[in-house]
């Protein structure tokens, strides 16, 4: 009995540690090739993100955490946007486009907002199903950090500043 409890404890700890690494760390891999359809009908691709540090935020108007963090996303964008930083908010496929448009307009979101009508973008970015899920992408187009839930904005800002300083 003692050994099996110890084994279960070790396995549980490994699963928790593995899940934390999966959900909280970046892969260092290239951001997946995607086409983002913006609210104005224009398109951006993952290739368009290169050369800037970019926050790609998967969110929904029905997600209370997403709505709660959005003012901080706006503050972050406003703080760094003149220094080579960009934000792309990707609304989930289940979010009615009229709700997304209304939210973006009434809150005067200053960054690009895309609607993932088919769910293909969320699928490509690791089958995102939990909102908010946010990716920090470096100037080379590599994912350096993934946040599930609201990020620690002080830590996020430190990472952004470090990435902006890189050549």
Domains of the chain: 27-165 (3.40.30.10)
Q: Is 50 exceeded by the pLDDT of residue 12?
A: no
Of residues 8 and 40, the one with the higher pLDDT is 40
**Mean pLDDT, to the nearest integer, of 44-66?**
97
Cβ neighbourhood burial of 90 (10 Å; 0-12, 13-18, 19+): buried
Lowest mean pLDDT among 1-10, 94-103, 152-161: 1-10
> If pLDDT is split at 50, 70 and 90, which confidence band does 167 have?
confident
Torsion of CA 167, 164, 52, 166, to 10 degrees: 20
Q: Is 80 exceeded by the pLDDT of residue 122?
A: yes
Mean pLDDT of the residues in the chain: 87
Of residues 13 and 73, the one with the higher pLDDT is 73
- State residue 28's pLDDT score: 79
> If pLDDT is split at 50, 70 and 90, which confidence band does 129 have?
very high
Alpha carbon distance 136, 130 (integer Å): 16
């Amino acid at each position: 009995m003692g050994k099996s409890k110890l084994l279960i404890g070790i396995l549980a700890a490994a699963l928790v540690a593995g899940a934390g690494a999966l959900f909280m760390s970046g892969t260092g891999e290239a951001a997946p090739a995607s086409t983002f359809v913006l609210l104005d009908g224009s398109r951006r691709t993952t290739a368009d993100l290169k050369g800037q540090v970019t926050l790609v935020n998967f969110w929904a108007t029905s997600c209370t955490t997403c709505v709660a963090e959005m003012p901080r996303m706006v503050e972050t964008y406003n703080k760094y946007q003149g220094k080579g930083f960009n934000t792309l908010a990707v609304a989930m496929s289940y979010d009615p486009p009229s709700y997304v448009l209304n939210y973006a307009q009434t809150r005067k979101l200053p960054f690009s907002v895309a609607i993932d009508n088919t769910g293909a973008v969320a699928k490509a970015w690791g089958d995102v199903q939990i909102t908010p899920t946010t990716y920090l992408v470096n100037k080379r187009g590599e994912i350096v950090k993934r946040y599930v839930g609201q990020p620690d904005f002080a830590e996020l800002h430190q990472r952004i500043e470090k990435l902006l300083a890189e050549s």
